[in-house]
Amino acid sequence: MEEPKIVKVNDRKGIQATIAAILGVLVLFVGVSIVGSPIKSFRTPESSISFAVAMYLPILIVCVLVLRRTKNAQ
């Protein structure tokens, strides 16, 4: 099994901020879907938001992997 990459403490905040921004993109566009209209193909806000989260699943997995790989830096 591959060893987790050890990221310097100085870098950790940068990588955490990156993950925050990536998750922020999801929050922003789910927010737009809630405040505005759902995606046309889905018609209801709930199905539209479910789609957005589902499409983001690969990225959410990447985020978890990134945080696991960087936690050893503490």
Partner 1 sequence: MNSLVPLLAEIGAVLLAIVMLYAGFRRYGRVKTLIFFAGSILWTAPIENIGVVTGSYTYYGFAGLFLTEYPGYLFWVGLVPLWIELGWFVVALSSFIVVHEVILPKRRAVVQAVASGLLAVNMDAVIDPVASSNELWVWLAPSIYVLGVPAYNWVGWFLLVFFYDIAFEHTVLDYRPLKGLSAIEKLLFKGNVVSSESKIIRFAFRLVVLSIVVTLLLILVQAAMMPFSYIKVG
Instruction: Give the footprint of partner 1 on this chain (CB under 8 A).
Output: 5, 7, 10-11, 13-15, 17-22, 24-26, 28-33, 35-41, 48, 51-52, 55-56, 58-59, 62, 65-66, 69-70
Nearest approach in angstroms of CB 39 to partner 1 is 5
Q: Scan for tokens 């925050």, then name that residue.
A: 20
- DSSP, residue by residue, 13-68: HHHHHHHHHHHHHHHHHHHHHHHS---TTT-SHHHHHHHHHHHHHHHHHHHHHHHH
Nearest approach in angstroms of CB 57 to partner 1 is 9
Nearest approach in angstroms of CB 70 to partner 1 is 7
